[in-house]
Amino acid sequence: MSEETDIEKKEAEGEDTLSKLLMVSPPAEPEMRSMSIIGDINEELSKDILAALWFLNHTAKVEEPANPDDPECEETKEVSRPFEIIVSTNGGNADEMFAIYDTMRYIRETVDIETFGLGKVMSAGTLLLAAGTKGKRRIGKHCRVMIHSVIGGSVGPMHQLDNEMKEVKSIQESYIRAICEETNLTERKLRALLKKKMNIYLTAEEAVEYGFADIVI
């Protein structure tokens, strides 16, 4: 066997190994797709995240053979392809957080969303991690999780500050209700935690205990 043939054989074996490593699921199962929420959640990032979410939602449904083991079977079935969201963020704007969250809530009614917290999941990011499909929310063993009260800051006339404070309180109440809906925390428990400290840091195991995630990897 020539040296050139040996090289070609090794390259072919390498490509086959790489294909196996990249295969997320067996061919007969729904294809897995992925996107990420990395960085501060602001208007610019939110625009891209929302576009990615709607794209993955609109391309979720595909037709596959009803019986893939029978090459003569002409019947098909509709399969919903799940997708994964990798979350690693310090948090960000509450309005953008709720825009992403509401979109995820809508999509997960028909499509499984697998969330995966890595590195740091803080502030607004905690709600988005928790918003994945129950049972399909993972978190890295060394991921840091942090929750805190909504932060607002304004200057101006007293009547304007009063109005701004009412809005901050309204956002806080929405945030608390959403967190409690997605996790194991009750409103009473969450309010007690938020009153104790400015920032509440959780280990990956604690994040699972509180219901922000389901599995530590």
| pLDDT score for 161 | 58
Please work out, in degrees rounded to the nearest 5, the angle formed at the alpha carbon of residue 161 by the alpha carbons of 158 and 166: 130
- The pTM score is 0.78
| pLDDT score for 71 | 80
Render each residue's pLDDT in the chain as its tens digit; 217 residues. Answer: 455 555 455 445 544 543 333 334 444 454 558 999 999 999 999 999 999 999 999 989 888 777 878 887 778 888 888 999 999 999 999 999 999 999 999 999 999 999 999 999 999 999 999 999 999 999 999 999 999 987 654 444 545 656 667 888 899 999 999 999 999 999 999 999 888 878 999 999 999 999 999 999 9
**What domains appear along the chain, each with residue ranges and CATH number?**
32-216 (3.90.226.10)
